[in-house]
């Protein structure tokens, strides 16, 4: 990782972040400076994505999950004035959390945070998480959600544990669908429809940086001077081929003055370079520069802008206080910001009009007319709709008693995904389309992640104090013997 070859590539990427470098990369990797095979966060080894949604009235929301089969180092930087987040304190370098299993980027604001219960249960069924007790695990799943309540017609039509469970079931390391899907189904920004976007870049030596974002800002991704997207200028190669500045007669940006001050842009940036936790936090902070490049204004009091950073790399970690690592880290951090800016532009371009919310490409058709890649961005990747049938299957699966993981099992090793139980009768109150409007059913009595992590930390502290006490007694006994 700390080879001179990577240092040279990192330095070049730092100076010219949009430059495609000429070299002789491994056959499985693109040229240094080029996007990965999917141009998505899943190009980062060790990252998978799953998404589900519903745009059937009264729903207009969804859930996206970034899953790491091997527990990975992670941190977070939150800068908006109105966040809806969960388990972010665990990610501070000052705290002892060893890593995360998954991160949720969801809709339904604070209510949607309950969808993490389904992700946690799915992980528990696979035996993944921090080991607790005999065969128990405490999956670590931080989350951030956007505000989209009521955009489908009913503020109570929101995600729940079932949605998180189904999103986790849909995870894969393949292409990622973009636009109005997953947690970005009900997203808006600058008077236009927002959504999910993703991008990646290969820095060389098999090191990737990727980003996934849900664009739902109080500000706008559109430059009012010419109605172009701020983020397009950070594109790599022909990434935005066919895109043009809109015709002057089309350039009449929608006003954001009447927009509700309840928004949020949330993202995950990831790399397979091994980072210490403090470096991951720095990466998440630098990635906010990507938001500022692609959205204006950003980080308002009505936003909950949050960026998570994940390192899936193994081996000797890059450290922010090691001068030998400075150039590599700066290249990774800068790539994270630029990749996030690209992902924001892709989210806006991929989204399609729905109801009375117009997409960028419908408002400025001349800008998108020549972009043949839009169809691929909007359709590739798995993003199943939540239906009454799949919702009932998830409810049934969550109602089953969790099976303890085998003693000594490797919680980092990927395991087969469990099949959902057959749909059964439910006694819960259902909406018109058969889905429970709000459910917190997590399938049996389990300690919350915060409680289990707290107990684990307390246990570690207790063992440490006991060890100090015993060492003190031994030193005292030795002194008595010498006397």
pLDDT of residue 138: 96
Could you tell me the two tokens for 207?
């090191």
- The percent of residues above 90 in pLDDT, for the chain, comes to 70
Mean pLDDT for 144-155 is 92
Burial 44-64 (b: 16+ CB within 10 A, else e): bbbbbbbbbbbbbebbbbbbb
What is the 8-class DSSP label of residue 230? Answer: G
Res. 410 pLDDT band, cuts 50 70 90: very low
CB-based contacts of 243: which residues, under 8 Å, 6+ apart?
229, 232, 349, 367, 368, 370, 371
Res. 135 pLDDT band, cuts 50 70 90: confident
Contact 232, 292 (CB under 8 A): no
Lowest mean pLDDT among 107-116, 227-236, 425-434: 425-434
CB-based contacts of 80: which residues, under 8 Å, 6+ apart?
264, 265, 299, 300, 302, 303, 304, 305, 306
Could you tell me the two tokens for 215?
């664009």
CB-based contacts of 342: which residues, under 8 Å, 6+ apart?
197, 199, 211, 231, 234, 235, 236, 239
Measuring CA to CA, how many Å separate 9 from each of 31, 211, 317, 394, 429?
Answer: 11, 20, 18, 46, 58
The per-residue pLDDT for range 7-59, each reduced to its tens digit, is 544 544 443 444 333 233 344 799 999 999 999 999 999 999 999 999 999 99
Beta strand pairing status for 266-271 and 306-311? parallel
pLDDT of residue 406: 57
> What sign does the CA torsion over 283, 286, 288, 293 have?
negative
pLDDT of residue 250: 94
Environment class of 153 (CB within 10 Å of its CB; exposed 0-12, middle 13-18, buried 19+): exposed
Angle, helix 116-125 to helix 388-399, in steps of 10 degrees: 60
Question: Any idea which residue has 């980072």 for tokens?
Answer: 275
Domains and CATH numbers, the chain: 41-398 (3.60.70.12)
Residue 144: which H helix or E strand, with range? strand 143-145
CB-based contacts of 475: which residues, under 8 Å, 6+ apart?
none
Res. 319 pLDDT band, cuts 50 70 90: very high
pLDDT of residue 302: 85
Quote the Cα angle for 439-442-446, to 5°: 145
The DSSP line for 85-143 is: EES-GGGSTTS----EEEEEEESSHHHHGGGHHHHHHHHHHTT-SEEETTTEEE----E
Lowest mean pLDDT among 14-23, 90-99, 303-312: 14-23
The per-residue pLDDT for range 107-123, each reduced to its tens digit, is 999 999 999 999 999 99
Residue 212 DSSP SS3: strand
Rg (alpha carbons) of the chain, rounded to whole number: 23
Q: Rounded to whole angstroms, how far apart are CA atoms 475 and 194?
A: 65
Q: Rounded to whole angstroms, how far apart are CA atoms 291 and 300?
A: 12
The answer, yes or no, to whether residue 235 has pLDDT greater than 50, is: yes
The answer, yes or no, to whether residue 222 has pLDDT greater than 90, is: yes
């Amino acid at each position: 990782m700390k080879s001179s070859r990577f240092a040279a590539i990192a330095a070049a990427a730092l100076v010219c972040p949009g430059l495609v470098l000429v070299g002789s990369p491994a056959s499985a990797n693109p040229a240094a400076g080029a996007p990965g095979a999917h141009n998505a966060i899943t190009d980062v080894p060790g990252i998978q994505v799953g998404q589900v949604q519903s745009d059937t009235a009264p729903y207009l929301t969804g859930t996206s999950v970034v899953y790491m089969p091997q527990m990975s180092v992670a941190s977070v930087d939150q800068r908006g004035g109105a966040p809806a987040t969960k388990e972010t304190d665990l990610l501070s370098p000052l705290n002892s959390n060893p890593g995360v299993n998954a991160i949720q980027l969801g809709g339904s604001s604070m209510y949607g945070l309950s969808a993490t219960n389904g992700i946690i249960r799915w992980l528990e069924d696979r035996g993944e998480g921090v080991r607790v007790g005999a065969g128990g695990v405490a999956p670590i799943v931080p989350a951030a959600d956007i505000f989209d309540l009521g955009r489908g017609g009913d503020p109570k039509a929101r995600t729940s544990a079932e949605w998180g469970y189904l999103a986790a079931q849909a995870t894969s390391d393949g292409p990622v669908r973009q636009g109005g899907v997953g947690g970005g189904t009900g997203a808006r920004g600058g008077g236009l429809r927002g959504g999910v976007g993703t991008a990646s870049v290969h820095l060389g030596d098999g090191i990737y940086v990727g980003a996934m974002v849900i664009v739902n800002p109080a500000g706008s991704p559109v430059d009012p001077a010419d109605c172009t997207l701020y983020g397009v200028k950070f594109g790599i190669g022909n990434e935005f081929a066919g895109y043009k500045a809109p015709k002057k007669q089309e350039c009449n940006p929608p006003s954001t003055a009447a927009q509700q001050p309840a928004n949020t842009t949330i993202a995950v940036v990831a790399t397979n370079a091994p980072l210490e936790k403090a470096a991951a936090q720095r990466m998440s902070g630098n990635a906010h520069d990507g938001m500022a490049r692609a959205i204006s204004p950003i980080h308002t009091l009505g936003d909950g802008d949050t960026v998570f950073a994940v390192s899936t790399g193994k081996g000797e970690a890059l450290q922010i206080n090691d001068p030998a690592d400075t150039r590599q880290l700066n290249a990774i951090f800068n790539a994270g910001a630029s990749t996030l800016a690209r992902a924001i532009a892709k989210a806006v371009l991929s989204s399609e009009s729905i109801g009375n919310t117009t997409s960028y490409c419908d408002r400025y058709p001349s800008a998108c007319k020549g972009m043949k890649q839009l169809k691929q961005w909007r359709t590739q990747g798995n993003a199943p709709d939540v239906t009454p049938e799949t919702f009932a299957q998830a409810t049934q699966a969550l109602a089953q008693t969790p099976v303890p993981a085998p003693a000594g099992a490797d919680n980092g090793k990927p395991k087969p995904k469990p099949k959902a139980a057959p749909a059964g009768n439910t006694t819960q109150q259902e909406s018109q389309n058969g889905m429970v409007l709000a459910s917190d059913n997590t399938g049996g009595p389990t300690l919350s992640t915060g409680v289990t992590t707290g107990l684990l930390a307390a246990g570690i502290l207790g063992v440490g104090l006991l060890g100090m006490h015993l060492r003190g007694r031994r030193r005292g006994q030795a002194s008595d013997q010498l006397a």
